[in-house]
Amino acid sequence: MIYLAIGFPPAAKSCAYRMRETANQFIHAGWDVTVVTIAQDSWERDSGIDPTLLNEVDSRVRTVELPLSRLDLETDIRLFDEERAASPNGWLTKLRNRQRLTFPEPNFGEWRGDLERAVVDIHAEHPADLLLASCVPYVTLAAAWKLWEEARVPYAVDFRDGWSIDVIDGVEAFSRDSEEAQWEKKILDNALSLWVVNDPIADHYRARYPEFADRVHVVRNGYDADSAPGRAHTPDVESGLRFGYLGTVNFSAQHLETVLNAWRTAREHEPLLANARFEVRGHIGNGAGREANRHTELLKQAAADGVVFGGPAAKAEVASVYASWDALVLILIGGRFVTSGKVYEYMATGLPIVSAHVVEHDASNVLNGHPLWTGAIGMDEEKMAEAFAEAARMAIRTSDELHAEAMAHADRFTREKLMTVAVRELVEAFDAAKPAHGPETTDTSTGERTTSTKGVDVAPLTEKSSVSGGTSS
């Protein structure tokens, strides 16, 4: 299998965990896996890398790194041409327009040719039976289509958050007559399967493409079992309760300011929080803006309120970071179309959880029933301050039994369990659709075209819709 997974470890991206587990599960199912991603130094100028993410990648996974990078994230001004140096905004506008000429996606469109050549070359060297494209970027779809056109290698798509749906604002991302829409329809018309992370996104695709509805599958992100501390934490009120946020700081500065204001109010009114700390861990920004933006300034200004920014946490540190905290703060963007992988990991800690997101959020559906969740209270500062206080009270009063119950609430969401089911069902779809004769290949010694007994060269399978883990929205 060729796995187009730009964001694969060691990229310090939230998608890296899902990608790693996907590759591992295909290996466990008996497949050869070749991952196509971009060079590590490209991630250095983007969100950074976390070498510890490679620790759990199966050694049998082959990785091909392409020398691709985002030009707009270059920070070495010695490499800027005269136009970029003189008019950065004008240069960026021209760049984005040029990138869309090749494929309708800013920042990544010009990668199309390299990705297409890569999959064709890999297939020529080691014929593929299946291709799985994980998006973003969506330009990977062009490579999937190229191999389908040339060799009829069947493919599936992991949209995760979807393309034609703006998951943040909850509206269609582009019109049905746009170039993006044409690409999406063409790709899905011939795909074996489509994976998305939650039910609202799945419902969007089933409504938009009713003929494709039974090939849409919910594959939730879940969490890695080794990220949970696995033991009850004993709060120390005298030295101060410790609240924490672990995750990418991808929310707006205004969102962060609301959380910090609520925290300040809670410390002023709740005695249990008078000497408490709120630690923020994770990546802030990328490129030239990494840890050099308004978010960083807000966190520094809140130091007097016991707020500390501890920087990113390596994957190998995650469990110990959670083990040092008494309660968690779940700060999320978006609404009903957004779940976030962190919600599962947070639940697995068994710690009290304060939600800092809108009420109508898919994370609320996942958290429903968690015994140590303070509830969906929206972004009202006063209500959020009370939620902080309630979490503090929960932290000191929670019995070992209730802590264990809270941890158990997340058991069904382990990433291994979810992806095992998802990969098995995709392999079953592949096997069911496989005809007697598959894609043609060329004998390099004779130049003759031969036909493989593997692969798919028929209309996509219509199969029963399924949900790999999780709860319906």
110 vs 70: CA distance, rounded Å: 10
> Which of 77, 54, 78 lies closest to 65, judged by CA?
54
pLDDT at 110: 97
Among 268, 394, 250, CA closest to 331: 250
Mean pLDDT of the chain: 91
Residue 23 has a pLDDT of 99
Cα distance between residue 334 and residue 340, in whole Å: 10
| DSSP for residue 461 | P
CATH number of 2-222+415-468: 3.40.50.2000
Residue carrying structure tokens 């493989």:
452
C-alpha 440, offset from chain centre: 35
- Of residues 123, 131, 22, the one with CA closest to residue 423: 22
- pLDDT for 52: 93
Rounded to the nearest 10 degrees, the angle between the axes of helix 415-433 and helix 15-28 is 60
Helix boundaries (H) for 376-442: 381-397, 400-408, 415-433
What's the CATH number of domain 225-411, 3.30.390.10, 3.30.43.10, 3.40.50.2000, 3.30.450.80?
Answer: 3.40.50.2000
Q: Do domains 2-222+415-468 and 225-411 have the same CATH topology?
A: yes
Strand duo 449-451 + 467-468: pairing: unpaired
At residue 288 the predicted structure's pLDDT band, cuts being 50, 70 and 90, is low
CA nearest to 358, candidates 333, 337, 386, 387:
333
Cα–Cα distance for residue pair 320/117, rounded to 1 Å = 43
3-class secondary-structure state, position 145: helix
User: Which tens digit of pLDDT belongs to each residue from 51-97?
Assistant: 999 999 999 999 999 999 999 999 899 999 999 999 999 999 999 99
pLDDT interval class at 465 (50, 70, 90): very low
For residue 410, what are its two tokens?
């997340």
Write the DSSP symbol of residue 172: E
Of 242, 273, 277, 291, nearest to 389 by C-alpha is 273
Instruction: Answer for the pair 308, 334: CB distance below 8 angstroms, yes or no.
Output: no
Rounded to an integer, the average pLDDT of 140-156 is 98
* 160 strand-pairing partners: 196
In this predicted structure, the answer to whether residue 354 has a pLDDT above a threshold of 80 is: yes
The residues facing 414 across adjacent strands are 223
Determine contact, residues 370/347, Cβ cutoff 8 Å: yes
Helix runs in 191-273, H state only? 199-208, 253-269
Tokens read off for 375: 């509830």
pTM score > 0.85 for this model? yes
Mutual angle of helices 140-151 and 112-125, in 10-degree steps: 40
> What are the structure tokens assigned to 261, written together?
């204001």
Q: Report how far residue 129's alpha carbon sits from residue 439's, in angstroms, rounded to the nearest whole number.
A: 8
Residue entry with tokens 């590590």: 40
Q: Please write the tens of the pLDDT for every residue from 207-219.
A: 999 999 999 999 9
Specify the pLDDT at position 457.
37
3-state class of 157 per DSSP? strand
- 223 in Cβ contact with 319 (< 8 Å): no
Q: Is the dihedral of CA 351, 319, 307, 286 positive or negative?
A: negative
The residues spanned by each domain of the chain are 2-222+415-468, 225-411
